[in-house]
């Protein structure tokens, strides 16, 4: 016989956590880590479960999708999505960290033409090899590379293949160069700036970075942290996108009520749909998002599923607004 666990009252003075489901597009401010920004918003919402879909360094600003409740199940898809950035480079100066926080390593004269800059930028389009910077959170033997760097230890790193889908010059004024880049996951824009600087023969480091897109999500509709801190939990929830926002660009499959119940229990279903590595699946109601699946040879194969309780909670929230 199942014996329910006794409920535990919240500590005196503490408000109880809430089941909140959805995706909030935050315009992360300068100086905060992604996790610090997430925890601030989580406290405002008193949310039970939260995560983010792609780390931004404290020196970077811009789009940080925050996932709450059932949406955290799909945060990994945000981590794996292509990203878009605006980056400002200081030409003629290289630093120990590749950005403005590091010590100056070398200064060189800047003697460039527009043609030379555009030719150098074109070299980095498509698949390229990047050596991860020492000042990064990449782990080696359970320890972040930046910890080795702070101790003055240089660790050998293997080059990794990333893809630069788009790269264009936005502005050039003397020793400042602004670029816009759309790239695959794992790309270090700081390293890209350094490499472009070397291709130009003068060196460079990153002085500003702003994320402008993550997958199909853009800065449009993103909200500043200061705005959220002046609002109540209900006002913040009203700004949230649905749980399926991170997969909104994927093909949709809709199931009958009977088939939806079986799919939610983890069973494969037969459907008439072309093969696809990722589709979003819905029940008969338009807002009844059930989770993600892949399609192979007419089989709808569950990947990440919401629980029936989560589906009901989301439907209730949508209809009560």
Report pLDDT digits (tens) over 112-152. 999 999 999 999 999 999 987 766 666 676 776 667 767 77
- Across 248-265, average pLDDT: 95
SS3 call for 321: coil
Contact 45, 74 (CB under 8 A): no
Catalytic option among 27, 57, 195, 244: 57
Of 51, 66, 84, the residue nearest 214 (C-alpha): 84
**In whole angstroms, how far apart are CA 309 and each of 101, 300, 312?**
47, 22, 5
Q: What is the pLDDT of residue 17?
A: 87
Q: Which residues contact 170 (CB under 8 A, 6 or more apart)?
A: 86, 178, 179, 180
Q: What is the pLDDT of residue 165?
A: 98
Q: What is the pLDDT of residue 1?
A: 36
Dump pLDDT digits (tens) for 258-294.
Answer: 999 999 999 999 999 999 999 999 999 877 999 999 9
**In whole angstroms, how far apart are CA 275 and each of 234, 249, 272?**
40, 16, 10
Q: What is the pLDDT of residue 12?
A: 55
Q: What is the pLDDT of residue 321?
A: 60
Q: What is the pLDDT of residue 248?
A: 93
Beta-bridge partner residues of 67 = 23, 51
pTM over 0.85: yes
Share of the chain above pLDDT 90, in %: 76
SS3 call for 293: strand
Instruction: Considering only residues 147 and 238, tell me which one the structure prediction assigns the higher pLDDT.
Output: 238
- Tell me how crowded residue 182 is: count the other CB atoms within 10 A of its CB: 17
- Across 235-253, average pLDDT: 95
> Residue 4 pLDDT more than 50?
no
Q: What is the pLDDT of residue 132?
A: 77
Does residue 57 carry a catalytic annotation? yes
SS3 call for 270: strand
Dump pLDDT digits (tens) for 31-71.
Answer: 999 999 999 999 999 999 999 998 898 889 999 999 999 99
Q: Would you state the structure tokens that stand for residue 191, as one six-digit string?
A: 């390293």
- Across 217-223, average pLDDT: 94
């Amino acid at each position: 016989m199942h014996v329910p666990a006794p409920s535990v009252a919240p500590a005196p003075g503490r408000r109880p956590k809430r089941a909140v489901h959805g995706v909030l597009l935050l315009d992360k401010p300068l100086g905060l880590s992604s996790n610090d920004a997430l925890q601030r918003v989580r406290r405002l919402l008193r949310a039970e479960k939260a995560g983010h879909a792609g780390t931004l360094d404290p020196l970077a600003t811009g789009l940080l999708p925050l996932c709450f409740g059932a949406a955290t199940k799909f945060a990994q898809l945000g981590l794996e999505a292509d990203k878009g950035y605006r980056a400002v480079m200081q030409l003629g100066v290289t630093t120990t960290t590749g950005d403005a926080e590091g010590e100056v390593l070398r200064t060189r004269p800047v003697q460039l033409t527009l043609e030379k800059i555009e030719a150098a930028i074109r070299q980095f389009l498509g698949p390229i090899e990047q050596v991860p910077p020492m000042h990064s959170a990449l782990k080696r033997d359970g320890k972040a590379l930046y910890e080795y760097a702070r101790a003055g230890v240089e660790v050998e790193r293997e080059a990794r293949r990333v893809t630069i889908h788009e790269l264009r010059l936005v502005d050039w004024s003397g020793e400042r160069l602004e670029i816009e880049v759309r790239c695959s996951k794992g790309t270090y824009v700081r390293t890209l700036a350094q490499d472009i600087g070397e291709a130009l023969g003068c060196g460079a480091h990153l002085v500003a970075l702003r994320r402008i897109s993550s997958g199909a999500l853009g800065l449009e509709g993103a909200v500043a942290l200061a705005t959220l801190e002046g609002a109540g939990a209900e006002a913040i929830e009203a700004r949230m996108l649905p749980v399926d926002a991170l997969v909104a660009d994927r093909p949709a499959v809709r199931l009958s009520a009977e088939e939806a119940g079986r799919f939610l229990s983890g069973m494969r279903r037969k459907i008439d749909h072309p093969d696809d590595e990722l589709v979003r699946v819905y029940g008969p109601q338009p807002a009844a998002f059930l989770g993600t699946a892949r399609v192979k040879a007419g089989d709808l194969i569950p990947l990440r599923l919401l629980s029936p309780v989560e589906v009901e909670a989301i439907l209730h929230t949508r209809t009560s607004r």
